[in-house]
Amino acid sequence: MDQWISLDWDALGANFWSATVDGLTFGGIYALVALGYTLVYGVLNLINFAHSEVFIVGAYAVVFTLSSLGFGPSVPNLAWYAIAANLLLALVFGMLAAAITAFIVERVAYKPLRAKGAPRLVFLISAIGMSFVIQYLIFLWRGPNPEPTVIMFENKAIFDVGGTLIYFDSILIVSAAVIMMIVVDQFIRRSKLGRGIRAVAQDPDTATLMGVNRERIIVSTFIIGGLLAGVAALFYVMKVPSGVLYLGGFLLGVKAFTAAVLGGIGNVRGALVGGLLLGLIGNYGQILLGSAQWNDVVCFVVLIAVLMVRPEGILGSNLGKVRA
């Protein structure tokens, strides 16, 4: 039998720093999607299986906006502020599309079941059905091939750290992910809605008695998750310009979920830690084992390992236990 698994430590050593930068960049994207899982899990104690479709709808919206604005497979010939304005527009549409999808998912797949007090397995199955419906609606509309490539800007190297070039998109994505995390974290801690979310996460019945509108909180949670998935979608298209495919949400969704579990599902800060960590692990694994397919395998193995060893994740604590 041929040798199919081999550890190429030399390759890892040679590419260590570029793999680190790349891993952190993807990690930032995972983290933003992971927030959607974490928020819904915190409030409903459910894994929103259709969140990956929320993300991919956002990605489609970004690609469509950009291509209708004239972006294409070549570097756009525009001034930097014009590009920034266009990207901002795409971002808004991506966030809107994702948030609307999240809202529809909540209304169709979750709300009727909540009204009936259905068992948890039933929620999960209906979410799987919903994710299928969205996926294949896109498939029937756009066909089996990925969308045409959309290049957003000329990606220049900004820093050169000891021979490793750090490109503009990596800096943008990682810093934006960290800033978004801080914003969400502070929002959950300080705003009125955030207080409501924490209350429902801690004890839904008591929260309702205390005058918290539970339904409104749940819908808001889904919408916040959708908005963040929309942001992630823009970065995803930036990083993988030809990757928007009806199936594309699935793998990213599983990775983001893994990131959420790794950091501690239901924990906002955990999503960032888990996302960045998973990005690194996946990228190192990919280079060590020699093919991009391994990235996915490594992530799945990490998921199983984390659930076995420390199912509460690295940071552990729950959304409901966050103190303001």
Partner 1 sequence: MSTGTPMGGAGESQARADELLEEVTKPSRLHGLSEWWNHFPRLGQWAFLLIAVAAAFALPLVNIPLLTTEPGNDWPLACAEMARYALVAVGLNVVVGQAGLLDLGYVGFFAVGAYVAALWTSPDSNLVHIPYLLTLPLAAMVTVVFGVLLGIPTLRLRGDYLAIVTLGFGEIIRLLATIIPALRGQQGFQEVGHPPGTNAEGNPIFSNSAGAPWYWLTITVIILVMIALGNLERSRVGRNWIALREDEDAAEIMGVPTFRFKLWAFGIGAALGGSAGAIAAGQIGFVNNQRFDVQMSVLFLVAVVLGGQGNKFGAILGGAIVAYIPLRFTAIAEYKYLIFGAVLVILMIFRPQGLFGKRPHLLTFERRAHKRIANLADAPSPAAKETGQ
Q: Which residues sit at the interface with partner 1, rule CB under 8 A?
A: 1-2, 4, 46-47, 49, 108-109, 112-113, 118, 120-126, 128-133, 135-137, 139-140, 250, 254, 257, 261, 291, 293-294, 296-297, 300-301, 303-304, 307-308, 311
Query: Beta strand 164-167 with 157-161: parallel, antiparallel or unpaired?
Result: antiparallel
Tell the smallest beta-carbon distance from residue 118 to partner 1 (Å). Answer: 6
Q: Return the number of the residue (2 or 160) whose C-beta is nearest partner 1.
A: 2
Q: Return the number of the residue (69 or 251) whose C-beta is nearest partner 1.
A: 251
Between the alpha carbon of residue 162 and those of residues 17, 58, 159, 283, the distances in Å are 9, 37, 9, 20
Q: Return the number of the residue (233 or 306) whose C-beta is nearest partner 1.
A: 306
Q: Return the number of the residue (238 or 303) whose C-beta is nearest partner 1.
A: 303
- Cα separation, 47 vs 259, in Å, equals 13
Tell the smallest beta-carbon distance from residue 260 to partner 1 (Å). Answer: 10
Tell the smallest beta-carbon distance from residue 3 to partner 1 (Å). Answer: 8
Structure tokens at 22: 């790349």
- Cα separation, 25 vs 259, in Å, equals 14
Tell the smallest beta-carbon distance from residue 41 to partner 1 (Å). Answer: 9
Q: Return the number of the residue (32 or 40) whose C-beta is nearest partner 1.
A: 40
Return the closest-CA partner of residue 302 out of 277, 321, 324, 320: 277
Tell the smallest beta-carbon distance from residue 311 to partner 1 (Å). Answer: 7
Contact 176, 35 (CB under 8 A): no
Contact 233, 180 (CB under 8 A): no
Q: Note the Cα 28 to chain centre separation in Å.
A: 8
